[in-house]
Structure 1
Amino acid sequence: MSERHLGTPAMPAEPDATPTGRIPEHLPDRLAISLWDFSWYTRAGAGEPFDDVDRAMAEAVHRGYNAVRICAAPLLVAGDLGLDTLAVDLPIEGLGAAPTGGYYGQRTRWYDTPGGYSIDVRGRLFELLASARRRGVVVVLASWEYQQSTSFAGDPAWFEAIDAVPLERRYDVLADAFGRLLDDIRDAGLIDVVAFTELHNEVDFSMLPAVDAGAAGGAAAGRASGGGAGSGVAALARLRAWHPDQLVTVSYGKPPHLAMHRLSPALEVAQFHVYSYGVLDALQRRIDIRSEGTAGFPNAELRALLRADAPSVEEYGRPAEWKLRATVITDQMIYGYDWIDASAWDAWLAAHYDAHHEVMRREIESRVVAVAEWARWRSVPAVVGEGWIGYTPRDGGFEEGPIGRALAEHGIRTALDHGVWGVVACSNAAPHHPMWSDVEWQQLVNREITSR
C-alpha cells in the first residue's frame, strides 16, 4: 500500500511552551496576576478590602499571586491637568445614594462602592508599590480613567478634566502622564517593581480612538506631542523613548482573533483579555440587561429573575448624569445587576450550559492560541490580563463554581502550553470579589502558573 501525502500543517502538532518573547531578567518567568483594577482606591474605606493595602498584598501572596494589575490613575496623579489637590484628597462616593435606600451599584460587580471617605491616591499608589517590593510582587500599571475610574469620585472635576481633552490627544496625555509617573517611581527606587505599563485598559471598549496598526517607527521621541486620531502608536513610541528600559503597551477587551494582522507592532506586550460569554451572553440577550434606552425595560424575562423586593425602574432612578457619562456601563445594567436574584441567575445559566459547553471551551482555547501565536510572531511576551466567562452580578456564583473554575483551568493550561508569560486565575479572583475566599483553588492554579 502506498503512502498518501495529506498536506503539511501550518502549525506544529505540539504547542510551543517556550516564552513568546523576551522577558526582562529582573521580572518573574511567569506572572500569576490578580486584577485589582481601580478598586484598590475605590474600596479602601474602613473595613473594606483595601483599607490596608499591605494586608491585601499579603493575602495575594498567600494565595500564590506574584503580580497585581492596577489602575494607576496616571491622569489624576501625574496628568498635569490641574488635579494635584484632588490627587491627594479624592472624595470617593461611588455611583451615589439611591432613593430607595443603599446606593447605586450595591450588588453590581466592580461598582459596589459605598464611598464616604477621601483618599490620597498618589500617596497610596507609592505605598502599594513599596508593599509589592517587600513581598516580592510586581505591578502592572494601567489606566481605567477613560472607561470608568472617574465615575466613583464625589467630585466631577477629574472626569471633566480628562473629558475636555480632545479625542485625538488622549493617548498623548496618557503617555505624558505615565512618563512623569514612571520618573517619580524611578526616583523613589521602585521602578523594578513595574512589570509593564499599559497606556490604557481595553482601548477597544473605552473613550479612546483606535490605535494605529501602522509601523511603530517614525514617531517623535522624547516628550514631544504626537498628533492625529489614532495617535496611540506615536504615544507608545514616545513613552518607550522616555523610559527605554520599560515595556509599554495597551490592552484589548476583545482581541481581533480573526484578524490579528490589524494590531499594531508597537505593542511591546501582547496583553489581551479572553472572555467566552457563551451561555452568559444567551441570558444577557434574553433579558436585555446591557442595553441602553430600551422601551419597556425591564422585559418579562428580566422581571421573572428579579428579587422580590426590587423597586420599579422609576422608583430606583439613576445615578447623576455625569457619572453615567464617565462610565461605559448603562443605567439598565446598574438596575438589572443591583436587583437580579443571583440564585435565579445562576440556576438559569446552569440549566442552559450544556448547549454551550463545547463552544465556550473552544472559544477560550482558540483565542488564547491566536494571541499567543501573534505574540510569538512579534517576539513579545503574551499576557492574558483578564478572563474567563464575563460580567456577572456580584453575588452570582456561576463563574466561581465548578463550571467556571473548569473553564478557567482550561484557559490557564492552554496559555501555559503556548508560552504565555502572565495569566489571571480569574478576573473575579481579587480582594473585592467573593471568589477571594476560595483560597485553596487560587493556590492550586497559581502554583501551576508559577511552576511551569
Structure 2
Amino acid sequence: MNERYLGSGTIDSTNSGLTGPMPEHLPDRLTVCLWDFSWYTRAEEGGPYADLDAACAETAALGFNAIRICAAPLLLFGDLGLGGLSRSLEIEGLGAAPGGGFYGQRTRWYDTPGGYTVNLQDRLLELFESAARHGLVVVLASWEYQQSPAFARSEEWFRAIDRVPLEDRYAVLTAAWDRLIGAVTEAGHRERIALVELHNEVDFSILPALHDGGSEAVVRLQEQHTDLLVTASFGKPPHLTMHELPDVLGAAQFHIYSYGVLDALQKRIDIRSERSAGFPNAELQALLMQDAPTPAEYGRPAEWKYEATVVTDQMVYGYDWVDPDAWDTWLYNEYGAYREVMRREIESRVIAVAGWARWQQLPAVIGEGWIGYTPLNGTFEEGPIGRELAEHGIRTALEHGVWGMVLGSNAAPHHPMWSHRDWIQRTNAMILDYA
C-alpha cells in the first residue's frame, strides 16, 4: 500500500531533544535522589543522614547529580513566630509505642525513632555546602502541608501553619520561599538551586486547588526570581486532560505512580482508610504477623500527628504489623494479571506529561514514581518486578525528552533499596549517558 493512503497518523511527529529549555548552569540531565524531609527527620546517631557530607558523597558516588528535599520554608522563613523552634527542633517521629519501639517503625518514611534536636536553620546551609562539594544540585520543595510537622515532638509548627487561613496559604508560602532563596543566595549557593516547588503534591496536601491562588503565587515567585525554575508538583496529574493544568508553571514536575496490583491488595485489606468498622478485616488478619497486637492494644500516636499528615491510623497499624513475606507473596502471585496494564499506565502517563511539557516548552521532571507506598520491609518494589517497571518508566522518559527523573521514590539513603548499589549506578549511568 502506498504511504500516501495511510493518513498523517503514520508520520512520526516526535520532537527530538528535551521538552523545554533549562538554565544553562544546570546539568543536561538530572538524576534525582528523593531525600524529602528525611534529611532532617532521620539524622539520629547512626541514621542515614546523621552526617550530611557523607550522605552527599555517597549519593554522588552512586551517580546521582540532584537531591530533592523538603526545605521547610514555612518553619524557617514563614514569619510565623517559629524562629526559636527552627533553631532547636526536637525530632520525635510518631512517638513511642506501648510494647516497645515506636509507631511507624515498619513503614516507609515514618520509621523515625527521633530522640534528637536539630538546628534546621544551620542544617539547610550545611546541606548546600555539602551538595556543592560533591557536585549536586538541589530541588527545593515543601511537604509542610502534607506531613513534615508530624515528626516534631511539639505541635507548635503544625499549629502555626494550620492557623493560616486556607485562602492565604499560597501567599505565605511564596513569601517564605522568597526569603529562603535570599538566604541561600547570600550564602553563595544560588546556582545550586535546580528547581523551586511551591509545594509538594498540591493535589494531595492541605491546600486549595492550584487555580485557587496557587497559580498567582507561582507567577509572583517567578517574577521575583526570573533566573530560577519555579513550579508546583502534582501527585496525580490529570493525564487524560492535561489541558486543564494552569499554563503558569515554570517546569513540568509530575509524579508517575501505577499502583495496579498494589492498589488491588490495599483495597482488599482496607489499609488506607481511617477508623473503619471491623478493622482489621479477615483479609488483613491473614497477612499479619503472628504476634501482632490488636489495634486497641497497639494504640495510636497523638491525635494532632494524624491531623498533620496524610497517612491514616490503619496504614500505621497495618504496615507496622503486616508480615512482609506474606505481603510480597500476594503481590507476586497476583502480578501477572496486572503486568501489562501497569507497564502501559506508566508509559502512557510519562508520554502524556512529556507531551504537555513540550507543548508548553517546559523542562519536564518526574520527581516521584513508580509503584506506590509499601511496608518498609516489603521487597516488591526493590525486587526484579519493581526494578523492571522503573527501567521501563525511565527509558520512556528519556525517549520523550524528560529532563530529570528519579530512579524510584525508594532509591534513597533511608530506604532498603539503597543496598542495590550496582543497579543504582548502572541506571544512573543510563540516564546521564543518554544521547
TM superposition score normalised by structure 2: 0.98
Aligned equivalent of 1:319, options 301, 306, 309: 301
Q: Does 1:7 align with 2:16?
A: no
Aligned equivalent of 2:256, options 262, 270, 274: 274
Structure 2 match to 1:251: 233
Structure 2 match to 1:169: 168
Q: What CA deviation, in whole Å up to 9, does each residue of 1:317-338 have, x standing for no partner?
A: 1110100000011000000001
Shift of 1:264: 0.8
SS of equivalent to 2:179: helix
Q: In structure 2, how many angstroms separate the alpha carbons of the residues matched to 1:170 and 1:191?
A: 25
| Matched AA of 2:293 | P
Q: In structure 2, how many angstroms separate the alpha carbons of the residues matched to 1:105 and 1:120?
A: 24
Structure 2 match to 1:122: 121
Does the 8 Å contact 1:16/1:417 carry over to 2? no
> Cα–Cα, structure 1 residues 180 and 4, in superposed 2: closer, same or farther, change >3 Å?
closer
Q: In structure 2, how many angstroms separate the alpha carbons of the residues matched to 1:190 and 1:19?
A: 26
| Matched AA of 2:426 | L
> Cα–Cα, structure 1 residues 143 and 12, in superposed 2: closer, same or farther, change >3 Å?
farther
Q: What CA deviation, in whole Å up to 9, does each residue of 1:324-368 have, x standing for no partner?
A: 000011000000001010111011000000000000000000000
| Matched AA of 1:184 | A
Q: In structure 1, how many angstroms separate the alpha carbons of the residues matched to 2:17 and 2:216?
A: 31
Structure 2 match to 1:134: 133
Structure 2 match to 1:204: 203
Structure 1 match to 2:62: 63
Structure 2 match to 1:23: 22
Question: What is the correspondence of 1:227-266 to structure 2 with a 5 Å cutoff?
Answer: 230-266=212-248
Question: What is the correspondence of 1:69-88 to structure 2 with a 5 Å cutoff?
Answer: 69-88=68-87
Does the 8 Å contact 1:32/1:424 carry over to 2? yes
| Matched AA of 1:7 | G
| Matched AA of 1:118 | T
Q: In structure 1, how many angstroms separate the alpha carbons of the residues matched to 2:73 and 2:334?
A: 42
Q: In structure 2, how many angstroms separate the alpha carbons of the residues matched to 1:310 and 1:295?
A: 19
| Matched AA of 2:5 | H
Aligned equivalent of 1:375, options 357, 366, 391: 357
Q: In structure 2, how many angstroms separate the alpha carbons of the residues matched to 1:187 and 1:59?
A: 27
> Cα–Cα, structure 1 residues 6 and 131, in superposed 2: closer, same or farther, change >3 Å?
same
Does the 8 Å contact 1:305/1:345 carry over to 2? yes
Structure 2 match to 1:221: none
The count of corresponding residues between Structure 1 and Structure 2 is 434
Shift of 1:6: 3.3
Q: Does 1:439 align with 2:417?
A: no
Does the 8 Å contact 1:15/1:417 carry over to 2? no
Shift of 1:262: 1.0
Shift of 1:7: 2.6
> Cα–Cα, structure 1 residues 236 and 3, in superposed 2: closer, same or farther, change >3 Å?
closer
SS of equivalent to 1:197: strand
Which structure 2 residue ranges, 5 or more long, are not aligned? Answer: none
Q: Does 1:39 align with 2:33?
A: no
Shift of 1:16: 3.4
| Matched AA of 2:400 | H
Q: In structure 2, how many angstroms separate the alpha carbons of the residues matched to 1:349 and 1:391?
A: 13
Shift of 1:308: 1.0
| Matched AA of 1:327 | T
Q: In structure 2, how many angstroms separate the alpha carbons of the residues matched to 1:2 and 1:385?
A: 44
Q: What CA deviation, in whole Å up to 9, does each residue of 1:196-244 have, x standing for no partner?
A: 10010000000000011xxxxxxxxxxxxxxxxx111111111111111
Which structure 1 residue ranges, 5 or more long, are not aligned? Answer: 213-229
> Cα–Cα, structure 1 residues 376 and 297, in superposed 2: closer, same or farther, change >3 Å?
same
Q: In structure 2, how many angstroms separate the alpha carbons of the residues matched to 1:2 and 1:134?
A: 59
Structure 2 match to 1:360: 342
Does the 8 Å contact 1:36/1:430 carry over to 2? yes
Q: Does 1:192 align with 2:217?
A: no
CA RMSD of aligned residues (A): 1.1
Range moving further from structure 2, 239-248 or 177-186: 239-248
Does the 8 Å contact 1:38/1:70 carry over to 2? yes
Shift of 1:309: 1.4
Q: In structure 2, how many angstroms separate the alpha carbons of the residues matched to 1:3 and 1:428?
A: 46
SS of equivalent to 2:365: strand
TM superposition score normalised by structure 1: 0.95
SS of equivalent to 1:257: coil
Structure 2 match to 1:407: 389
Q: In structure 2, how many angstroms separate the alpha carbons of the residues matched to 1:128 and 1:121?
A: 10
Shift of 1:14: 6.8
> Cα–Cα, structure 1 residues 156 and 355, in superposed 2: closer, same or farther, change >3 Å?
same
| Matched AA of 2:257 | Y
SS of equivalent to 1:51: coil
Structure 1 match to 2:330: 348
Does the 8 Å contact 1:17/1:416 carry over to 2? no
SS of equivalent to 2:140: strand
Q: Does 1:293 align with 2:292?
A: no
| Matched AA of 1:430 | A
Shift of 1:99: 1.3
